Amino acid sequence: MAAKPPSFSPSRTTCASLLRELQMIWDEIGESDNDRDNMLLQLEQDCLDIYHRRVEETRKHKADMYQWLADAEAQAANIVSSLGESTVLPRTLNINYMAFHVVEIERPRGKGTLKQQIATMRPILEDLRSKKDDRIKEFLKIKSQISQICDEIAGCGQYKSVTESDVNQSDLTAKKLGELKSHLQELQNEKILRQQKVKSHISTISELTVVMSIDFGKTLNEIHPSLGDSLKGTLQSISNDTLARLTGVIHSLKREKQQRLQKIQELGKSLVDLWDLMETPTEEQKAFSHITRLISASVDEVATHGCLSAEVIEQVEGEVLRLNVVKASKMKDLVFKRQNELEEIYRGVHMDVESESARQILTGLIESGNIDLSDLLQSMDDKIRQAKEQALSRRDILDRTEKWKFAAEEEKWLDEYERDENRYSAVRGAHKNLKRAEKARILVSKIPSMVENLTAKVKVWEMEKGISFLYEKVPLLNRLDEYTIHRQLREEEKRKNREQKRLQEQAAVEQEALFGSRSATKKPLGQSNNANTIAGTPTGRRLLGPSGRHGTSAGKERRESGRMNSIIPVNYVALPKDDSVSRGN
């Protein structure tokens, strides 16, 4: 039976066909046998080199796999040691334990290929890493809680964050974790006791402040801001300093309560004496019955809301004064009530009010007894009626004045805003300023007409009334004239600044054009070396030497590079001389 010809792979068949083609080419060229043998030997050597490289690469890959297995087994041993727990591993590893520490790790030989061993080891290592990460997270959680409670007790304003570097990763045993949990429990118990003390102190302060109508939240904020914000869900301070401050405030409030009670008891006794002396009806006395009940009360018995407030004390003091001068004070109060009403009308329309002198005159008239108080009241009523009529006639002008003042304020803001170099930068609130500027420009454009109309209105009013229209003790026309002049000056100043800026920019452009033309005259860098050779002009040494290439300044280089780019065509390509000569040949 004839032997079958050896079957060749596609690569072998390709090599054979290429070898035949190479033989045919050599035949056509006429290569000698020696040259052919040398070439074939070179091809065989190249093939051997390729095989050698592939063998070396495969050998290195094998060494890397062995190294990975060794590293993985060492890492697994370290993790198991740090966790301090017996972990069941597959037969690819042989680990013996003693007192939660790894004594020996052996890698079995000949139990599967390297890929199989790596495939077996990889999930084991990942599982151990996952357990280690979970244990580290437990440590971090407990340490963070411990650190936070310690900072709260110490009164630190900012809590120190705990990172993985703060965890001893060589000791992640359950025993160590249990010790940390015990420490945390002790701190939590201490925190609960302190919170109870703070809560008790706050309750006492609340009772004392309620009785005296003192701002409870403000009192707590002065001790520590966190106490006042406790209703918002923030943590309360439990530091030693906070507890000491709470105790001190409680003592201070108790002393204040004692002093206020004594003062009210003295005022209550004075009230009873005055009532008896003036035979005051019982119905009038009922308004201050809550004061008379405190005359015989002790400090601990007083707990009614606001019964010792500063307002209550002021009311009792005022009642005592009222009873001392009841007849004269009634009439006097009525006169000054009219005066207050008159002053409010004048202030409401920005008219001049000499409050102090008017009150002194009224007081002198009343105390002198030379005037009938009824006539005085009638005179006050006439003044109030006249003031209301005048205020009504001024209302339209005042409304226009307020609009003008608002527009002037917006104009001032717009000037400051436009002087800001960073007004278009992307900062928070910039879009709001842009919208406001748009509205302000519209409003400012209306100011001339607003001033003109307001001036006309004021002049008509002054002609009708025959007096100057005063606005906060100053004639309004004077204010409008001053504003108009000041605005014209500001517009002229803006115009001059714009003109000066335009001249500066024009001078800068002319200066730049002048320097650019000089540089182009001195250094015609737009001409290439080939162009110089063709024209017969030798290239200067400054352009060929290193100092000529690097000695110029950065500004000149930018200008010269710009001129070169404008002279040299975009599609210019410098070809080597040898290549061009060979092409010509």
Q: What span, in angstroms and rounded, lies between the C-alpha atoms of 109 and 223?
A: 73
Per-residue pLDDT at 4: 44
* Residue at a domain's end among 122, 156, 190: 156
Above pLDDT 90, what percent of the chain? 10
Residues 352 and 214 in one domain: no
CA distances to 223, 351, 440, 446, 447 from 490, rounded to whole Å, are 52, 30, 17, 17, 14
Residues 460 and 530 in one domain: no
CA distances to 129, 242, 245, 414 from 220, rounded to whole Å, are 50, 10, 10, 43
Q: 122 in a domain, yes or no?
A: yes
Residue that the structure tokens 């004021």 belong to: 458
**Dihedrals phi, psi of 510, to nearest 5 degrees:** -65, -40
The pLDDT-based confidence of 98 (bands split at 50, 70, 90) is very low
Per-residue pLDDT at 329: 59
More confident: 275 or 34: 34
What tokens does 266 get?
């003295």
The pLDDT-based confidence of 256 (bands split at 50, 70, 90) is very high
457 neighbors 396 (Cβ within 8 angstroms): yes
Q: 6 in a domain, yes or no?
A: no
3-state secondary structure of 507: helix
CA 80 centroid distance within chain: 46
More confident: 26 or 390: 26
For residue 229, pLDDT over 80 is answered with no
Residues 195 and 278 in one domain: yes
Residues 334 and 307 in one domain: no
Query: Using CA atoms in the order 467, 469, 472, 477, what is the torsion angle rounded to 10 degrees?
Result: -120
Task: Read off the pLDDT of residues 474-496 as tens digits, 9 standing for 90 and up.
Answer: 887 888 888 888 888 888 888 88
468 neighbors 432 (Cβ within 8 angstroms): no
Residues 254 and 369 in one domain: no
Per the structure, the count of domains in the chain is 4
Per-residue pLDDT at 6: 45
Task: Read off the pLDDT of residues 504-537 as tens digits, 9 standing for 90 and up.
Answer: 888 888 888 877 655 444 444 444 444 343 333 3
Highest mean pLDDT of the ranges 101-110, 155-164, 525-534: 155-164
Q: 1 in a domain, yes or no?
A: no
Domain around 91: 13-156
* Residue at a domain's end among 522, 546, 576: 522
165-174, 353-362, 431-440, 555-564: which range is least confident on average? 555-564
* Residue at a domain's end among 295, 324, 353: 324
Per-residue pLDDT at 258: 92
Residues 373 and 250 in one domain: no
Residues 366 and 515 in one domain: yes
Task: Read off the pLDDT of residues 350-403 as tens digits, 9 standing for 90 and up.
Answer: 776 666 777 777 777 777 767 766 677 778 788 888 778 777 777 878 888 888
- Residues 6 or more apart whose CB falls under 8 angstroms from that of 159 comprise 147, 148, 151
For residue 408, pLDDT over 90 is answered with no
Q: 253 in a domain, yes or no?
A: yes
Q: How many helices (H) and strands (E) does the chain have?
A: 21, 4
Mean pLDDT of 137-150: 84
Per-residue pLDDT at 561: 39
30-44, 268-282, 568-582: which range is least confident on average? 568-582
Residues 184 and 133 in one domain: no
CA distances to 155, 195, 583 from 152, rounded to whole Å, are 5, 11, 87
More confident: 385 or 62: 62
Average pLDDT, the chain: 75
159 neighbors 148 (Cβ within 8 angstroms): yes
Residues 390 and 535 in one domain: no
Q: 133 in a domain, yes or no?
A: yes
Nearest to 490 by CA among 421, 454, 444, 440: 444
Q: What span, in angstroms and rounded, lies between the C-alpha atoms of 237 and 245?
A: 11
Q: What span, in angstroms and rounded, lies between the C-alpha atoms of 279 and 299?
A: 31
4-8, 159-163, 180-184, 339-343: which range is least confident on average? 4-8
Residues 147 and 216 in one domain: no
3-state secondary structure of 294: coil
Q: What span, in angstroms and rounded, lies between the C-alpha atoms of 121 and 119?
A: 6
Mean pLDDT of 249-275: 89
Per-residue pLDDT at 583: 37
More confident: 231 or 41: 41
- Residues 6 or more apart whose CB falls under 8 angstroms from that of 265 comprise 294, 295
Mean pLDDT of 30-38: 88
Per-residue pLDDT at 232: 58
Q: 199 in a domain, yes or no?
A: yes
Residues 344 and 465 in one domain: yes
For 457-473, give one letter per residue: b (16+ CB within 10 A) or e: bbeebeeeeeeebebee
Q: 425 in a domain, yes or no?
A: no
Residues 351 and 233 in one domain: no
For residue 136, pLDDT over 90 is answered with no
For residue 181, pLDDT over 80 is answered with yes
Q: What span, in angstroms and rounded, lies between the C-alpha atoms of 69 and 118?
A: 6
